[in-house]
Amino acid sequence: AEVHYHDFVVQAKQVQRLCSAHTIVTVNGQFPGPTLVVRDGDSLVIKVVNNAKYNISIHWHGIRQKRNGWADGPAFVTQCPIQPGGTYTYRFTIEGQEGTLWWHAHISWLRATVYGALIILPKQQASYPFPTPNREYPVILGEWWNRNPIDVIRQALITGANPNLSDAFTINGQPGDLYNCSAQETTVYPVAAGETILLRFINAAMNTQLFAAVAGHIMTVVAADASYTKPFPTSVIMLGPGQTTDVLIRTNQPAGRYYIAARAYSNAPPIITFDNTTTTAILEYAGAVKSGQRPKFVALPGYRDRATAAAFSANIRSPAPVKIPEPVDVNLFTTVGLGLLNCPPNRMCGGPNGTRFAASMNNFSFVLPNRLSLLQAAQFNVAGVFTSDFPAAPPIQFDYTGKVRRGLWQPVKATKLFPVKYGSVVQVVLQGTNIFAAEEHPMHIHGYSFYVLATGLGNFDPKKDASKFNLVDPPHRNTIGVPAKGWVVIRFVADNPGVWLVHCHIDTHLNWGLMTALLVENGVGELETTIPPPPDLPRC
């Protein structure tokens, strides 16, 4: 196994997008940031130097970080932010993971421009469980604002305005040729006829689930969230923010230029406006004639095409029967959803009827600490930073997905963690709600991958719905969409001590409080103990 050393210098950089110049925060002046390519078993040592004017922290999305929460990265959860002028070195080892992951800033809205691919190849002597591709490329889907994204979210938090309306989607940082002033810079993927190509799709968009497709080519899905899947063919894929999907294509079409395109999948109610434009890149065969002609177009599903999105997600399975952790020791039932708060006096609030938006889990809208990270507080028993009484069930029961009276469910601000004993089998029912509005929530857990046992519409019914569990070959993921007015059930073994964030990967919802954290207690043996913090861990 190798050790990979990298310097990540966080710095401002001027870029041209959509006909004007913008100063954005980047890593090493690159946007998207550097692609990290490692093998399973390798270690990474990444020295982050903050030369920007904002606090920063970097999260390695999907990396298990076993007993190594200090390298996980979410600001105020596992570390204080790296302040301007500061440095912090993330050290971690890949243990039994292969496929496509990514890294991104985990503070404020900096991940809008601070992100990149993290590719884990099989061990040196090992190979893929599918034909070795002739070429492979990351296809990073992103979301672009002409305004400084930090100002967008700041305004959303102060007024509760809805910031979902971005100015473009992007592929590898470029909007593509359907947008103004963007044709020259459209991302091009060179291929040759008769090849097998591995495309590693990453949804790095801030707030939007995306459909994606390649014109004229059937994709074979082979992995999702760095777990291999039972291969299946599809003409379109759907990824929620945070998710990755690896596909193979055969370049068996006439030598030409073919769009790779992505656009929104949203079942948000009309009150939530969103960007409905299409981003493009170009799959370009060697010898293709470039002059004049547009690349071959691909029609993507309509943005409300839930049937296509659901059918795609349901096809994702583990390649072979897996050993499902049983029996369940800990049952957590938590609502996930939006809510409304009253507008504080003398404020302008952007929600309906002068309210402002909030989001919650089991009615608690999570508030991050600001003088110590949760992990530090847990490790050193510092009182007053959090409480460990996140409820295992909603405080009141009602018809979560029906027509809910607004006054029934007023989110309460709190910093409540859910305590879990080391080694226990945890089953979580994530129940979407329809409190003022239902939307799909891509839920992500740090430090873990989990089996997705079942998903459905309406209110989860433990008696009826247990029969729907896939206990044979469920997918193993780190981010899963909770359907609008529906639920999903996940299961995992709490074998990783530490404080691990559980949150909606729609950044607006995250900032409105749609998160909690697992407090996985240390076991007794040495192996189970979280390592001491590194000496350069930033101070608040």
Residue 477 interacting with ligand C2O (CB under 6 A): no
Judging by DSSP bridges, how do beta strands 450-457 and 135-144 pair with one another? unpaired
Comparing CB distances to ligand C2O, the nearer of 61 and 306 is: 61
The one among 494, 501, 514, 520 contacting ligand C2O by CB under 6 A: 501
The one among 149, 242, 447, 486 contacting ligand C2O by CB under 6 A: 242
Does residue 481 contact residue 432 with C-beta atoms inside 8 Å? no
User: Cα-Cα-Cα-Cα dihedral of 403, 409, 411, 412, to 10°?
Assistant: -170
The one among 64, 104, 217, 485 contacting ligand C2O by CB under 6 A: 104
Residue 64 interacting with ligand C2O (CB under 6 A): no
The one among 503, 509, 511, 538 contacting ligand C2O by CB under 6 A: 503
The residue written with tokens 């919650």 in the block is: 360
Taking CB under 6 A as the binding criterion, the range among 41-49, 306-314, 362-370, 498-506 that sits at the site for ligand C2O is 498-506
Judging by DSSP bridges, how do beta strands 417-420 and 515-520 pair with one another? parallel
| DSSP string over 105-147 | E-STTGGGT-EEEEEEEPPTT---SSPPPSEEEEEEEEEE-SS
Comparing CB distances to ligand C2O, the nearer of 66 and 104 is: 104
Residue 61 beta carbon to ligand C2O: minimum distance, rounded to whole angstroms: 4
The one among 32, 69, 74, 498 contacting ligand C2O by CB under 6 A: 74
Taking CB under 6 A as the binding criterion, the range among 84-92, 195-203, 334-342, 501-509 that sits at the site for ligand C2O is 501-509
| Phi, psi torsion values for 466, nearest 5 degrees | -60, -30
Does residue 385 contact residue 369 with C-beta atoms inside 8 Å? yes
The one among 44, 46, 54, 61 contacting ligand C2O by CB under 6 A: 61
The pair of three-digit structure tokens given for residue 461, joined into one six-digit string: 């019914």
Comparing CB distances to ligand C2O, the nearer of 385 and 501 is: 501
| Phi, psi torsion values for 372, nearest 5 degrees | -160, 145
Taking CB under 6 A as the binding criterion, the range among 162-170, 329-337, 488-496, 500-508 that sits at the site for ligand C2O is 500-508
Comparing CB distances to ligand C2O, the nearer of 32 and 74 is: 74
The one among 59, 217, 356, 416 contacting ligand C2O by CB under 6 A: 59
Residue 441 interacting with ligand C2O (CB under 6 A): no
Residue 102 beta carbon to ligand C2O: minimum distance, rounded to whole angstroms: 8
Residue 509 interacting with ligand C2O (CB under 6 A): no
Kindly give, in sequence order, each residue whose CB lies less than 8 Å from that of residue 193, ignoring residues fewer than 6 positions away: 251, 252, 255, 285, 286, 287
Kindly give, in sequence order, each residue whose CB lies less than 8 Å from that of residue 451, ignoring residues fewer than 6 positions away: 322, 324, 325, 474, 475, 476, 490, 491, 492
- Name which of residues 162 to 181 contact ligand C2O (CB under 6 A): none
Counting Cα atoms < 13 Å in the Cβ hemisphere of 448 gives: 30
Alpha-carbon distance of 307 to 457, in angstroms, equals 12
Comparing CB distances to ligand C2O, the nearer of 106 and 476 is: 106
Helix, strand or coil, per DSSP, at residue 309: helix
Residue 416 interacting with ligand C2O (CB under 6 A): no
Residue 120 beta carbon to ligand C2O: minimum distance, rounded to whole angstroms: 16
Contacts with ligand C2O, residue ranges (CB under 6 A): 59, 61, 74, 104, 106, 242, 444, 446, 501, 503, 505
